[in-house]
Chain A
Amino acid sequence: MSNEYKKPIPVMQPWTKEFWKGTKKSQLLIQECNDCQSKIFYPRQYCPECWSGNLKWSQASGKATVYSFTTTQDMVEPKFWADLPYVLALVDLEEGIRMMTRIVDCDPETVKIGMDVEVVFEDITDECALPMFRPVS
């Protein structure tokens, strides 16, 4: 599979590998600080609030709402041409985390700010899947 995927693959850090492992099991993992209870995204080596290294992973529900979005239609790298048009979006998870993603499995014209969406994983390599979101049916 990894030989076929021509688009950019997430450049991981040692402390983010757990997140990407989760995506292969269709789990959306978020970090939490055991000391100050902050919810952390994107994953860090140390808590960005209190610098504790005592961090844990918990599974998010995968439910989110659209914060904003754009239908990308032109002026992208050739490696993304085949995807055009695609809906790039920022979504807010129930857990209070905002993520960059794409809204998939729908007509781009129907996407709205505040719309309810849920995570769906697109397998791209043996190491990771990209968390995309689709409208809640």
Chain B
Amino acid sequence: MSKGLAIIGVGEVPTAINPERSRWDIIYEVCRQAVQDAGISKDEIEGVVTVAPQAQPRLAAEISFGKIPEELGLNGCKDICTCNAGGSSTSNCLRMAENWIENGLAKFVLIPHVTVHSTIPIEDTINFFAQAGMDLQWEYPFGTTYNGIMAMSTRRFMYETGTTEEQMASVVTALRKWAKLDPNSLFYGKKAPSIEEVLSSKMVSSPLHKRECNMLADGGSAMVVTSAEIAREMKVKAAYKLGEGVRYLKACSILRDIQLIADGTRDSTDQALKQAGISKEDIDMWNIYLAYPFGHPLFLEAVGICEKGQAGKFIMEGHTSPGGKLPCSTIGDAIGRGHTGSGVSTATYVETARQLMGKAGERQVPDIKYVYQNTAGGSGMNNIATIWGRESHE
């Protein structure tokens, strides 16, 4: 029995549109990087828990039926598993790894993810994202899309809180400012669009403009995790999991209103903070993963960082941007990173770890001790809140 969980190694390839690069090439690279970063040998990996790749059935089957340890020669591997909960898959991989480690089944567990969208025929991709997470009886026949569902939540949120379209656009500007500093972002080094540039991009699904929607991309990342106790003994830089809170909302968008989302977000966050024994004022970086801009002001109001109706103004004033007093989503969420299916949640955990290990380069939040990170799956079916620290609390 070895309690607690710590991320001790990370690996990642830049998110890009790169059809030349095969999925297995990416798996090799991210896994090798993560194992080397952890300072262990490949044969010390005793479990591989993979983030389910979406819209890639052949790859999902290969991984779920055990190909990774064999292909990579992880000769000490005792078992494998794939976790699928859409955008919250990675949180479940971490839980599974924690369980294996606590039960003595594994000492080090590898958690990889890869998605290559650009080699999937475009009609298959559109069809996948039109149907995945949609109800085939009560939503899909009307012509729903992810953008459409998020657009309706965005409009309702704006209506209830008085948030303006300029304030909503400023969320994109803030996230893209982080992305500009992230060598692994699709938008690395590229000037963040101004509020005017966001609002002048083509309307996709009102009130969402093209720049407020995600761009599909290819990417992969991996983490090596072990117990908190072992991480401490190894004296390596690590991110320690300190708390977790979860709430299931509803799968079908017709059964989720803004209040339900806000309540679930707040309750899961409070639960995670309580378990970690800290308060929200202790959090140095809010690593929010909600895929669409409206999630950010909704989140800040739901957890009580901003008063109702004030989060849009707060974001527009730059407080969540690089250099701001409340850094949020330092890889820029899916808007800034490029959308890699379930992989945005993996990339966000990798960033949580990098920040706490002091390896976040130009995005490094100074003197960082605690990071909050959430994930959500489907079209917003749940909220998983986690608290991570630079040091273990045990």
Residues on A lying within 8 angstroms of B by beta carbon are 7-13, 16, 41-42, 67-78, 80, 83, 86, 88-90, 98-102, 113, 124, 130
Contacts and interface: CB of A to CB of B under 8 A. Distances in A.
26 contacts: A10-B136, A10-B141, A16-B137, A68-B152, A68-B155, A69-B152, A69-B155, A70-B151, A70-B155, A70-B205, A70-B207, A71-B206, A73-B204, A73-B206, A74-B203, A74-B204, A74-B205, A75-B126, A75-B145, A75-B205, A76-B143, A86-B143, A88-B144, A90-B253, A99-B138, A113-B156
Contacts, number: 106
B137 A10 contact: yes
B149 to A, nearest CB: 8
B342 to A, nearest CB: 20
B137 A11 contact: yes
Interface in B131-150: 135-145, 147-148
Nearest to A48: B255
A113 B153 CA distance: 12
Contacts of A101: 142
B253 A83 contact: no
Contacts of A67: 156, 257
Interface of B: 123, 126-127, 130, 135-145, 147-148, 151-153, 155-156, 159, 202-208, 210, 213, 252-255, 257
A71 B205 contact: yes
Contact of B252 (A11, A16, A42): A42
Contacts of A71: 203, 205-206
Contacts of B159: 68, 113
Which 10 pairs, one residue from A and one from B, show the smallest C-beta to C-beta distance? A70-B151, A68-B156, A11-B136, A68-B152, A71-B206, A10-B137, A80-B143, A70-B205, A42-B138, A74-B204
B153 A68 contact: yes
Which residue among A10, A13, A78 has the maximum number of chain B CB atoms within 10 Å of its CB? Answer: A10
Which residue among A67, A75, A76, A88 has the maximum number of chain B CB atoms within 10 Å of its CB? Answer: A75
A81 to B, nearest CB: 10
Contacts of A42: 135, 137-138, 252, 254
B381 to A, nearest CB: 15
A41 B147 CA distance: 23
A72 B145 contact: yes
Contacts of B140: 8
Contacts of A8: 136, 140-141
Contact of A100 (B144, B202, B205): B144
Given A75-B204, A113-B155, A113-B156, A70 B148 contact: yes
B254 A98 contact: yes
Contacts of B252: 42
Contacts of A113: 155-156, 159
Contacts of B213: 75
A33 B27 CA distance: 51
B147 A75 contact: yes
Nearest to B252: A42
B300 to A, nearest CB: 21
B123 to A, nearest CB: 7
Nearest to A99: B254
B155 to A, nearest CB: 5
Contacts of B139: 100
Nearest to A114: B159
A73 B143 contact: no
A10 B134 CA distance: 12
Given A70-B206, A78-B123, A113-B156, A102 B151 contact: no
A77 B138 contact: no
B261 to A, nearest CB: 13
A13 to B, nearest CB: 8
B54 to A, nearest CB: 17
Contacts of B205: 70-75, 88
A124 B140 CA distance: 14
Nearest to B206: A71
